[in-house]
Amino acid sequence: MMKKVILGSVLLAATSASAMPFEKPEDAIRYRQSAFTMIATNFGDMSAMVKGRKDWDQAQFSKRALFISQLTMMPEEAFQMKGTDKGDTKARPEIWSDWDGFTAKLNKFQGDMANLAKVSAEGDQRATMKAFGVAAKNCKSCHSDYKYR
């Protein structure tokens, strides 16, 4: 019984705001912007292949998709810190006023990217391009609703 109580306490502490790695809102904003910059860089490389501006390289595409699938897990906690709705950010206030909608789109993007990583690792270019289209569409819809240009 004591082990369950201790485990429960540890889990609760791990999910609290104080468990975040940020000391100031500015730190959280930079963290999430860094993650999104890495996502955009990798996404841009894949997009260039899909659009034929760069030679198709299935292994490289698959690597980029895997990187993004991992990176998509990073930004959410950086939106949760109080004060991160202000400052040097392109985040719209709708992120916080429509948190459920925002996290639903983020969760869908995470799922889309996990699927893209899986599909691209299987090596079928056509299936990879189709999965990329699904992920790109969702990515764009989140930008339209929750990011200033």
Against a cut of 0.75, is the pTM above it? yes
Closest CA to 73 of 45, 40, 42, 36: 36
Sign of the four-CA dihedral 142, 16, 34, 72: negative
**Sign of the dihedral defined by the CA atoms of residues 97, 100, 105, 106, in that order:** positive
Provide the pLDDT for residue 19: 72
- Single-letter residue type at 141: S
The radius of gyration computed from the CA coordinates of the chain, to the nearest angstrom, equals: 18
| CATH classification code of 24-146 | 1.20.120.10
The pLDDT tens digits for 44-95 are 999 999 999 999 999 999 999 999 999 999 999 999 999 999 989 999 999 9
Positive or negative, the Cα torsion across 120, 121, 124, 125? positive
